[in-house]
């Protein structure tokens, strides 16, 4: 017997909490993972590339599977694969095995990402922006919990990989509940996008995908380089910079909470525009305040706050425009996840090679590019399907 949509959302929030804990636990465990494999820590950067590649490749499979089988089997398979593969990462005795496990973990994460977001969007068609922000809020909570667990476990038990085991265990423990999730009703009429080929023919979906490409790469890049950036831009020591850098993730998580609330009153387009303007403002403050401690930290926090709702709101917009098509979501996610493979490296070169001002200016440029892509979305018109969904 299936549970209600509200209960399904609550259960899915637990899944995303586990996934966030698992992913955020990777960074603090890198030194231990490198020691397990006998590789240099610098070589472990390929772990993130392999994981991101798996998440991209997964979208070419999960879309068609969701169209045929529904989102619950895709979510279930993704949870099991991600959990088992990341346990494999924690025990890998060679770099090659670790990279294979990371690729499989990314494939699983692609299923969790697509299955969970599409399912929740379909269950709450008139409030998808709010529901998806709530869902991804718990991913943000997990991203804070993961490093905390890793730090405490490393200090007290000598096991920085404990967060990986905790996240994986929570994913696998929740897997038996997924078949009881509510199933979305079949669309009343044929979807405008019914396959990956149909999705690829939509300029609007490509614009959303490109917007997420810039956004995801920027978010990952800022999160990854914030500590180094704050050392150069605000003159902080490594420990203080690491502590201040957590403000980005904390504010990003808070932003999703705010998005869940105001998403009940605003359309997905309006909420997305507000966020992109906030990104531009936060990046500009960071650029203008290089050398000043509190304005720099404030700008980073504002950037994180504006980041929070972007991803879930863009997925909500995708769902509204495509009639809840899993293939449309898969295309957008496949394009969007490429950003995590490209932009963080570019941002790192700018911050370490040209200085923090160049890095902050790159954030302003990224925000302006996202605003230009949003303007392209506005130029494509506002389909009647989206109007109807926003009105419900």
Domain edges within the chain:
5-127+140-175, 196-391
- pLDDT score, position 192: 54
| Cβ count within 10 A of residue 188 | 6
Q: Are 119 and 316 in contact (CB under 8 A)?
A: no
Nearest to 299 by CA among 237, 347, 354, 367: 367
Q: Which two tokens stand for residue 210?
A: 């490109």
In 3D, which of 78, 73, 77 has the Cα closest to residue 55?
78
Which 3 state secondary structure label does DSSP give 199?
Answer: helix
Among 27-41, 222-236, 294-308, 367-381, the range with the most confident prediction by mean pLDDT is: 294-308
* Angstrom distance (rounded) from CA 315 to CA 328: 10
The answer to whether residues 68 and 76 touch, using CB atoms and an 8 Å cutoff, is: no
pLDDT at 381: 52
In tens, the pLDDT along 309-350 reads 999 999 999 988 888 888 888 889 999 988 888 888 899 889
Q: Sign of dihedral through CA atoms 317, 320, 322, 326?
A: positive
Least confident span in 74-78, 193-197, 286-290, 359-363: 193-197
Do domains 5-127+140-175 and 196-391 share one topology? The answer is yes
pLDDT for position 66: 87
Report DSSP state, residue 325.
Answer: -
pLDDT digits (tens, 9 = 90+) for 249-283: 889 999 999 999 999 889 999 999 999 999 999 99
Asked if pLDDT for residue 385 goes beyond 50, the answer is: no
Do residues 181 and 53 make contact, with C-beta atoms less than 8 angstroms apart?
Answer: no
Helix extents (H) in the chain: 5-24, 30-37, 45-69, 71-91, 95-123, 128-157, 162-174, 196-200, 203-234, 238-262, 268-288, 293-307, 310-322, 326-353, 356-379, 384-391
Looking at per-residue pLDDT, the higher value among 30 and 136 belongs to 136
- Residue 294 clears pLDDT 70, i.e. is over it: yes
CATH number of 5-127+140-175: 1.20.1250.20
Which tokens belong to 47?
A: 């772990």
pLDDT band for 210, please (50, 70, 90 cuts).
very high
pTM: 0.85
DSSP 8-state class, residue 381 = -
Residue by residue, DSSP assigns 79-98 as: HHHHHHHHHHHHH-SSHHHH
With CA atoms as reference, report the closest residue to 268 among 385, 106, 177.
385
* Candidate ranges 143-157, 330-344, 366-380; pick with highest mean pLDDT: 366-380
Residue 221's contacts (CB-CB under 8 Å, 6 or more residues apart) are: 343, 344, 346, 347, 348
pLDDT surpasses 80 at 383: no
Residue-level pLDDT at 27: 77
**% of the chain exceeding 90 in pLDDT:** 60
Mean pLDDT value of segment 206-213: 96
Task: Note the residue count of the chain.
Answer: 392
Poorest-confidence range of 3-17, 49-63, 206-220? 49-63
Backbone angles phi, psi at 258, to 5 degrees: -65, -40
Q: Residue 195: what pLDDT?
A: 58
CB 111 within 8 A of CB 81: yes
CATH 1.20.1250.20 fits 196-391, yes or no: yes
Query: Is 195 strand, coil or helix?
Result: coil
The segment with the largest mean pLDDT, out of 44-48, 67-71, 131-135, is 131-135
The span from the CA of 242 to the CA of 222, in Å, is 13
């Amino acid at each position: 017997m299936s549970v209600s949509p509200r209960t399904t959302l609550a259960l899915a929030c637990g899944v995303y909490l586990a996934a966030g804990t698992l992913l955020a636990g990777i960074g603090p465990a890198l030194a231990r993972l490198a020691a397990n494999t006998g590789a240099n820590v610098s070589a472990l950067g390929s772990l993130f590339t392999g994981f991101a590649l798996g998440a991209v490749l997964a979208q070419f499979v999960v879309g068609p599977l969701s169209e045929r089988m529904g989102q619950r089997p895709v979510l279930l398979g993704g949870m099991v694969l991600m959990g088992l593969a990341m346990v494999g990462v924690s025990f890998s005795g060679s770099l090659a095995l670790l990279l294979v496990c990371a690729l499989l973990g990314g494939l699983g994460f692609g299923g969790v990402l697509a299955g969970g977001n599409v399912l929740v969007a379909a269950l709450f068609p008139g409030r998808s922006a709010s529901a998806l922000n709530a869902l991804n809020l718990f991913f943000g909570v997990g991203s804070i919990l993961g490093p905390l667990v890793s730090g405490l476990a490393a200090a007290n038990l000598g096991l920085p990989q404990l967060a990986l085991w905790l996240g994986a265990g929570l994913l696998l423990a929740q897997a038996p509940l997924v078949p009881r999730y509510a199933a979305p009703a079949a669309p009343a009429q044929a979807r405008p996008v019914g396959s990956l080929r149909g999705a690829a023919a939509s300029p609007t979906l490509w614009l959303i995908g490109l917007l997420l490409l810039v956004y995801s790469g920027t978010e990952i890049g800022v999160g990854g380089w914030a500590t180094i950036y704050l050392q150069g831009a605000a003159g902080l020591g490594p420990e203080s910079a690491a502590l201040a850098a957590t403000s980005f993730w904390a504010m990003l998580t808070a932003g999703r909470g705010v998005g869940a609330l105001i998403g009940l009153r605003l359309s997905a387009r309006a909420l997305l525009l507000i966020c992109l303007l906030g990104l531009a403002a936060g990046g500009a403050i960071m650029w203008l305040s290089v050398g000043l401690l509190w304005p720099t930290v404030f700008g980073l926090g504002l950037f994180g706050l504006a980041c929070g709702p972007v991803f879930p709101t863009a997925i909500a917009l995708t769902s509204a425009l495509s009639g809840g098509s899993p293939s449309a979501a898969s295309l957008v996610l496949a394009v969007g996840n490429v950003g995590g493979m490209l932009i963080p490296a570019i941002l790192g070169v700018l911050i370490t090679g040209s200085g923090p001002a160049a890095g902050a200016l790159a954030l302003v440029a990224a925000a302006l590019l996202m605003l230009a892509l949003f303007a392209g979305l506005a130029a494509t018109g506002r389909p009647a399907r989206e109007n109807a969904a926003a009105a419900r």
